[in-house]
Structure 1
Amino acid sequence: MGSASEEYQSLLLRLDSHGHIPELSSNAVEEFLSHRPVAMRWYLRLVGWESKLLWLLSGSSIVVSIFNYMLSFVTQMFTGQLGALELAGASIASVGIQGLAYGIMLGMASAVQTVCGQAYGAKKYAAMGIICQRAIVLHLGAAVLLTFLYWFSGPVLKAIGQTDSIADQGEIFARGLIPQLYAFAISCPMQRFLQAQNIVNPLAYISVAVFLLHILLTWLVVDVLEYGLIGAALTLSLSWWILVIIQGLYIIFSPLCRETWTGLSLKALKGMWPYFKLTVASAVMLCLEIWYFQGLVLISGLLPNPTISLDSISISMNYLNWDMQFMLGLAAAASVRVSNELGAGHPMVAKFSVLVVNGTSILISIFFSAIVLIFKVELSKLFTSDSEVIAAVSDLTPLLAISVFLNGIQPILSGVAIGSGWQGVVAYVNLATYYIIGLPIGCVLGFKTSLAAAGIWWGMIIGVLLQTISLLILTARTNWNAEVAKAADRLKQSANEERLSLLDDI
Structure 2
Amino acid sequence: MCEGLVDGRLLQAPCRCNAKNDGGGHVDGQHGAVVVVVVVPNSETCEPAPVLEDRPPSVRKGGAVLEEAAAILRLSLPMIMTALILYVRPMISMLFLGRLGELALAGGSLAIGFANITGYSVLSGLAMGMEPVCGQAVGAKNFPLVGATMQRMVLLLLAVSVPVAFLWTKMEPLLLLCGQDAAIAAAAQRYILFCLPDLFFLSFLHPLRIYLRTQSINLPITACAALAIAIHLPINYLLVTVLGLGIEGVALASAWANFNLVLFLLAFVYVSGVHRDTGGFSLPRNLFKDVDGWMRLVRLAVESCASVCLEWWWYEIMILLCGLLANPKATVASMGILIQTTSLLYIFPSSLSFGVSTRVSNELGANRPSAARAAARAGLALSAVQGLASLAFAVAVRRAWARMFTSDADILALTASVLPILGLCELGNCPQTTGCGVLRGSARPKDGAHVNLGAFYGVGTPVAVVLAFWAGMDFRGLWLGLLAAQAACVAVMLVVIHRTDWDVQAKLAQVLAGAIDVNGAGVNDAAAHVKVAAPHGDEDSSLLITVSG
Whole-Å separation in 2 of the counterparts to 1:167 and 1:446: 29
Whole-Å separation in 2 of the counterparts to 1:99 and 1:75: 18
Whole-Å separation in 2 of the counterparts to 1:158 and 1:304: 24
**Counterpart pick for 1:317 among 335, 339, 345:** 339
Which amino acid letter does the alignment assign opposite residue 287 of structure 2? A
- C-alpha contact 1:129 1:260 (8 A) present in aligned 2: yes
Q: Partner residue of 1:126?
A: 144
Which amino acid letter does the alignment assign opposite residue 478 of structure 1? T
**Counterpart pick for 1:94 among 96, 107, 112:** 112
Q: How far off its partner does 1:496 sit?
A: 7.4
Percent identity of paired positions between Structure 1 and Structure 2: 27
Secondary structure of the 1:81 match is helix
Which amino acid letter does the alignment assign opposite residue 486 of structure 1? L
Q: How far off its partner does 1:187 sit?
A: 0.6
**Counterpart pick for 2:484 among 462, 472, 477:** 462
Which moves more between the two structures, 350-359 or 334-343?
A: 350-359
The 5-angstrom pairing of residues 42-191 of structure 1 reads: 42-43=62-63, 46-191=64-209
Structure 1 pair 404–337 and aligned structure 2 pair: CA distance change class (3 A) = same
- Structure (1 or 2) with the greater strand fraction: 2
The 5-angstrom pairing of residues 315-464 of structure 1 reads: 315-464=337-486
- C-alpha contact 2:54 2:370 (8 A) present in aligned 1: no
Whole-Å separation in 2 of the counterparts to 1:160 and 1:268: 43
Whole-Å separation in 2 of the counterparts to 1:155 and 1:436: 32
Secondary structure of the 2:472 match is coil
Q: Partner residue of 1:297?
A: 319
Q: Partner residue of 1:11?
A: none
Q: 1:88-137, CA deviations, whole angstroms, 9 ceiling, x for partnerless residues?
A: 22122212323432221111111111100000000001111111000111
Secondary structure of the 2:287 match is helix
Q: How far off its partner does 1:161 sit?
A: 4.2
Whole-Å separation in 1 of the counterparts to 2:140 and 2:147: 15
Whole-Å separation in 2 of the counterparts to 1:32 and 1:405: 34
Secondary structure of the 2:367 match is coil
- C-alpha contact 2:349 2:386 (8 A) present in aligned 1: no
Which amino acid letter does the alignment assign opposite residue 381 of structure 2? G
Q: Partner residue of 2:224?
A: 206
- C-alpha contact 2:118 2:164 (8 A) present in aligned 1: no
- C-alpha contact 2:467 2:478 (8 A) present in aligned 1: yes
Whole-Å separation in 2 of the counterparts to 1:96 and 1:447: 26
Which moves more between the two structures, 331-340 or 353-362?
A: 353-362
Secondary structure of the 2:505 match is helix
- C-alpha contact 2:54 2:367 (8 A) present in aligned 1: no
Whole-Å separation in 2 of the counterparts to 1:61 and 1:133: 23
Whole-Å separation in 2 of the counterparts to 1:413 and 1:287: 16
Q: Partner residue of 1:10?
A: none
Q: Partner residue of 1:32?
A: 58
- C-alpha contact 1:300 1:453 (8 A) present in aligned 2: yes
Which amino acid letter does the alignment assign opposite residue 341 of structure 1? E
| TM-score, L = length of structure 1 | 0.88
Q: 1:254-308, CA deviations, whole angstroms, 9 ceiling, x for partnerless residues?
A: 2233212422215332322232122111111111121112221232123232110
Whole-Å separation in 2 of the counterparts to 1:303 and 1:68: 33
- C-alpha contact 1:328 1:412 (8 A) present in aligned 2: yes
- C-alpha contact 1:33 1:349 (8 A) present in aligned 2: no
Whole-Å separation in 2 of the counterparts to 1:62 and 1:159: 40
**Counterpart pick for 2:329 among 307, 316, 319:** 307
- C-alpha contact 1:112 1:192 (8 A) present in aligned 2: yes
Whole-Å separation in 2 of the counterparts to 1:83 and 1:415: 41
Secondary structure of the 1:376 match is coil
Whole-Å separation in 2 of the counterparts to 1:339 and 1:58: 15
Secondary structure of the 2:280 match is coil
Whole-Å separation in 2 of the counterparts to 1:202 and 1:421: 26
**Counterpart pick for 2:286 among 264, 267, 280:** 267
Structure 1 pair 496–279 and aligned structure 2 pair: CA distance change class (3 A) = farther
Whole-Å separation in 1 of the counterparts to 2:517 and 2:303: 18
Q: 1:354-378, CA deviations, whole angstroms, 9 ceiling, x for partnerless residues?
A: 1111111211221221121111121
Secondary structure of the 1:104 match is helix
Larger radius of gyration: 2
Structure 1 pair 145–493 and aligned structure 2 pair: CA distance change class (3 A) = farther
Secondary structure of the 1:258 match is helix
Structure 1 pair 175–47 and aligned structure 2 pair: CA distance change class (3 A) = same
User: In the alignment, is residue 282 of structure 1 matched against residue 300 of structure 2?
Assistant: no
- C-alpha contact 1:362 1:408 (8 A) present in aligned 2: yes
Which amino acid letter does the alignment assign opposite residue 184 of structure 1? L
**Counterpart pick for 2:237 among 219, 226, 237:** 219
Give the gaps of 5 or more residues in structure 1. Answer: 1-25
Q: Partner residue of 1:251?
A: 269
**Counterpart pick for 2:260 among 230, 242, 261:** 242
Q: How far off its partner does 1:441 sit?
A: 2.4
Which amino acid letter does the alignment assign opposite residue 228 of structure 1? G
Which amino acid letter does the alignment assign opposite residue 256 of structure 2? L
Secondary structure of the 1:184 match is helix
- C-alpha contact 1:133 1:264 (8 A) present in aligned 2: no
Which moves more between the two structures, 181-190 or 272-281?
A: 272-281
Q: How far off its partner does 1:52 sit?
A: 2.4
- C-alpha contact 1:97 1:153 (8 A) present in aligned 2: no
| TM-score, L = length of structure 2 | 0.81
Whole-Å separation in 2 of the counterparts to 1:305 and 1:322: 26
Which moves more between the two structures, 400-409 or 110-119?
A: 400-409
Whole-Å separation in 2 of the counterparts to 1:185 and 1:473: 35
Whole-Å separation in 2 of the counterparts to 1:30 and 1:175: 57
Q: 1:32-89, CA deviations, whole angstroms, 9 ceiling, x for partnerless residues?
A: 255xxx4xxx43xx44432321122101111222323432232122211211222122
Structure 1 pair 275–381 and aligned structure 2 pair: CA distance change class (3 A) = same
- C-alpha contact 1:70 1:211 (8 A) present in aligned 2: yes
Structure 1 pair 202–321 and aligned structure 2 pair: CA distance change class (3 A) = same
Whole-Å separation in 1 of the counterparts to 2:73 and 2:56: 20
Structure 1 pair 496–384 and aligned structure 2 pair: CA distance change class (3 A) = farther
Aligned residues: 469
Q: How far off its partner does 1:477 sit?
A: 0.5
Which moves more between the two structures, 178-187 or 82-91?
A: 82-91
Q: How far off its partner does 1:140 sit?
A: 0.6
Whole-Å separation in 2 of the counterparts to 1:258 and 1:195: 17
Whole-Å separation in 1 of the counterparts to 2:125 and 2:296: 16
Which amino acid letter does the alignment assign opposite residue 304 of structure 1? A
Give the gaps of 5 or more residues in structure 2. Answer: 1-51, 529-549
Secondary structure of the 1:157 match is helix
- Give the RMSD, CA atoms, in angstroms: 2.2
